[in-house]
Homo-oligomer: A and B are copies of this chain.
């Protein structure tokens, strides 16, 4: 926030000048710090936000008074100084003060070439950026011999006046132009996209030019001491003789900094300057507690530091820099942890498209599961499996996926669908598998028969064509693209290890299969917060049994079919318990509607009729009978558990038998059994009664005693409202925020895609409530549920297990509300661990203030 104090129109920066980033901008503040560190910073004057805002509205600033500080023949630059350098600002303007008289003096002093270039650069910038003349008329290389003359003529031609000679007017015009540019719509949108608030201010710094041109060694350069890509210590940058600004970075003739076999280096041609710069870098790192990039000039061998900014860095580099600073004792571990934005970790955990690689984007869809993958287009599970058998990468393309596609998804490198949203089958499975996925790419035309997809531009791709999908951005790309590997190195582990020591809320993972559980453990999840068991029913041999169950006419027939699944589920749970080795596992009982287990196509129905040896018409009738208008709100979850109790009985039996086996193998487990889609207390009572009976039966049969916990997944608004009476029968409540959000808003996540971006743009919803937990609405239900539950049972374990589990805001909410843990997809576990640490550190800081 801007402080309300009277500020001078401008201030000369020295060690004690009253300056702050939130009044004069980050650049002004940083220059003062460099001065305090005794660096050779040319004389600089800072204009605060208030002055710049006044200039933009037409006020005259006393430019004479400013220029007076720069002596009789001022030559200055103006640079933007926004509060956060990342918010950007108008481009720098150099060599203000150049005019015919000064040109002649510099020609004497530095030679004609240097003087021409100084003047030409200023005329060019002034004409285009300040006077807004036609840029085409000023398209010259400022180093060209004729450029200056031509541009002075062009100015006179276009502006109907000779090029302004008065430095005071020059500076006034430059300041005004920069102040106004900041108020422009595009600049505003751009900085808001980078996180700037509505009322972000701009400061400006006016600095004595160190020209970088002249007869003795002169030039400009940029240096940093770590790699922006990896964060490892490495002197990086360029130096260009007879140059100004940041030209060195773009000029083929620039020198290396350190001795290099490929060409000349600053270290060789001017070792004293180089050593000085290295020393400056070390000072900055130690005293500014950050890796800085330094902009410098040499003028006849004299070194000036014009500016220093935080080194730009990839997520990976950021991590390494923070860890290195902490390990060197420059910053604390808390500080290192705080410096890493949790969301940035996602980038490290998946393959991604090399930012420098060219892209041919065909279409966009919903970015359903992060990561990038390249493969040959395959239109069926079978084709994807065949490709995998031959070691060929594939991308499985389907209009939408169904249980039959699971094996194809296992075999493919990525999945692309034309329909569905973030909670569609394809999206859920892909995230679970850590498989890059794009869903709802509705602008692509899918032709199942011909096995082709047609891009909006008309290009057709068939089986065997290579495509790349970027599940992080939702882009579908033609052909192959260079991919970068994930970066889960020691630094990553070190930082997250520190985070774990600091945080005070547990993090579990949602994991349905042994593979996902392995991933969860690899990311140091403290247990499984949501193991959806329905995936166990979709595997091929089990799907058949499930279908037989669905076609059973009697309760006994159903029970018999379901019983055949017990040994299969037992083996799943056996492996899970073994893997988790005592860490908690929360198992959600069967949830999906039965029609998900039936084929949707005519072919599929025909196959099923053959397999079950029943008439096709019977299959059709059953499919028809089980179809639902709103499957989300239909016969699923505990409603199935109550009306067809044999399913939950069988699941409980498998869980308890696996528990007994684990106990016998000296791996004590207390399984947590979770009932989905509860809306009334009595549902819990009924399931509780049957589960208790199954437990008693297993205890009697095996002679082994064991413990278990029974809890409820709170995902209907009513369950949250009635959490008090529900908690009387539950030892834990886990809020399923996906469904809870859908029901609270009356909004299907799968169907919201069609208008969500429009809604967010219009500010109807501040953000997509499926990405960021809606604290006002859904959050109130969470709070009500938590309070009412704990009022009845103070030992109640509370958690969330929706996809918001990895959202820092949601974690903050849960922590404040006294939740025990959050659970999220394995890949978000590190994000959650880090976000939780941030909260604990900030709380600690706030308390110690």
Contacts from A to B (Cβ < 8 Å): 420, 424, 442, 625, 628-635, 639, 642-643, 677, 679-680, 682-683, 686, 715-718, 721-722, 739, 742-748, 750-752, 754-755, 758-759, 762-765, 774, 776-778, 780-781
A739: chain B residues at CB < 8 Å are 746
From A742, which residue of chain B is reached at the shortest CB distance? Answer: B633
Assess whether B781 is in contact with A721, with CB atoms less than 8 Å apart: yes
CA distance A718 to B782 in the complex (A): 13
A764: chain B residues at CB < 8 Å are 642, 680, 682-683, 686
Assess whether A781 is in contact with B682, with CB atoms less than 8 Å apart: no
A754: chain B residues at CB < 8 Å are 635
A-B residue pairs in contact (CB < 8 Å), sample of 30? A424-B629, A628-B751, A629-B750, A630-B633, A630-B748, A630-B750, A630-B751, A632-B632, A632-B748, A633-B746, A633-B751, A634-B747, A634-B752, A635-B755, A642-B758, A642-B759, A643-B755, A643-B758, A643-B759, A679-B744, A679-B745, A682-B763, A682-B765, A716-B744, A717-B717, A718-B745, A718-B774, A718-B778, A721-B777, A721-B781
From A755, which residue of chain B is reached at the shortest CB distance? Answer: B643
Would you give the shortest CB distance from A448 to chain B, in whole angstroms?
13
Q: A679-B746, A718-B745 are in contact. List 9 more A-B contacts (CB 8 A).
A: A630-B633, A631-B751, A633-B745, A679-B745, A717-B744, A717-B746, A717-B781, A721-B781, A739-B746
A759: chain B residues at CB < 8 Å are 639, 642-643
A677: chain B residues at CB < 8 Å are 746
Would you give the shortest CB distance from A233 to chain B, in whole angstroms?
50
For this chain, the copies found in one complex come to 2
A747: chain B residues at CB < 8 Å are 633-634, 679, 716
A715: chain B residues at CB < 8 Å are 746
From A750, which residue of chain B is reached at the shortest CB distance? Answer: B629
A642: chain B residues at CB < 8 Å are 755, 758-759, 762, 764
Among A721, A754, A781: residue with most chain B CB under 10 A: A721
Interchain CB contact (< 8 A) of A680 among B748, B758, B765 = B765
- A755/B629 contact (C-beta < 8 A), A679-B745, A748-B634, A764-B682 known: no
Assess whether B744 is in contact with A718, with CB atoms less than 8 Å apart: yes
Would you give the shortest CB distance from A585 to chain B, in whole angstroms?
25
Assess whether B635 is in contact with A632, with CB atoms less than 8 Å apart: no
Would you give the shortest CB distance from A43 to chain B, in whole angstroms?
51
CA distance A689 to B639 in the complex (A): 43
From A679, which residue of chain B is reached at the shortest CB distance? Answer: B745
A751: chain B residues at CB < 8 Å are 628-631, 633-635
Interchain CB contact (< 8 A) of A777 among B625, B633, B718, B774 = B718
CA distance A748 to B739 in the complex (A): 14
A746: chain B residues at CB < 8 Å are 632-633, 677, 679, 715-718, 739, 743
Interchain CB contact (< 8 A) of A633 among B424, B442, B716, B748 = B748
CA distance A642 to B625 in the complex (A): 36
Would you give the shortest CB distance from A449 to chain B, in whole angstroms?
13
Assess whether B716 is in contact with A745, with CB atoms less than 8 Å apart: yes
CA distance A558 to B27 in the complex (A): 51
Assess whether B629 is in contact with A629, with CB atoms less than 8 Å apart: no
Assess whether A629 is in contact with B748, with CB atoms less than 8 Å apart: yes
CA distance A528 to B722 in the complex (A): 34
Interchain CB contact (< 8 A) of A748 among B628, B643, B758 = B628
From A754, which residue of chain B is reached at the shortest CB distance? Answer: B635
Assess whether A755 is in contact with B717, with CB atoms less than 8 Å apart: no
CA distance A807 to B721 in the complex (A): 23
Would you give the shortest CB distance from A218 to chain B, in whole angstroms?
58
CA distance A774 to B781 in the complex (A): 18
CA distance A728 to B754 in the complex (A): 29
CA distance A832 to B723 in the complex (A): 33
Assess whether B629 is in contact with A722, with CB atoms less than 8 Å apart: no
Assess whether B762 is in contact with A686, with CB atoms less than 8 Å apart: yes
Assess whether B631 is in contact with A632, with CB atoms less than 8 Å apart: no
A629: chain B residues at CB < 8 Å are 420, 424, 631-632, 748, 750-751
Would you give the shortest CB distance from A50 to chain B, in whole angstroms?
33
CA distance A763 to B682 in the complex (A): 7
Would you give the shortest CB distance from A396 to chain B, in whole angstroms?
20
Would you give the shortest CB distance from A428 to chain B, in whole angstroms?
13
CA distance A760 to B385 in the complex (A): 47
- Ranked 9 nearest A-B pairs via Cβ: A633-B748, A634-B751, A716-B746, A630-B748, A718-B777, A717-B717, A629-B750, A630-B632, A630-B630
From A617, which residue of chain B is reached at the shortest CB distance? Answer: B445
Would you give the shortest CB distance from A592 to chain B, in whole angstroms?
13
Would you give the shortest CB distance from A609 to chain B, in whole angstroms?
18
CA distance A590 to B832 in the complex (A): 42
A777: chain B residues at CB < 8 Å are 679, 717-718, 721-722
From A741, which residue of chain B is reached at the shortest CB distance? Answer: B718
CA distance A746 to B745 in the complex (A): 11
A721: chain B residues at CB < 8 Å are 744, 776-777, 780-781
Interchain CB contact (< 8 A) of A743 among B420, B643, B744, B750 = B744
Would you give the shortest CB distance from A554 to chain B, in whole angstroms?
16
From A765, which residue of chain B is reached at the shortest CB distance? Answer: B680
CA distance A774 to B682 in the complex (A): 14
Would you give the shortest CB distance from A10 to chain B, in whole angstroms?
42
Would you give the shortest CB distance from A415 to chain B, in whole angstroms?
18
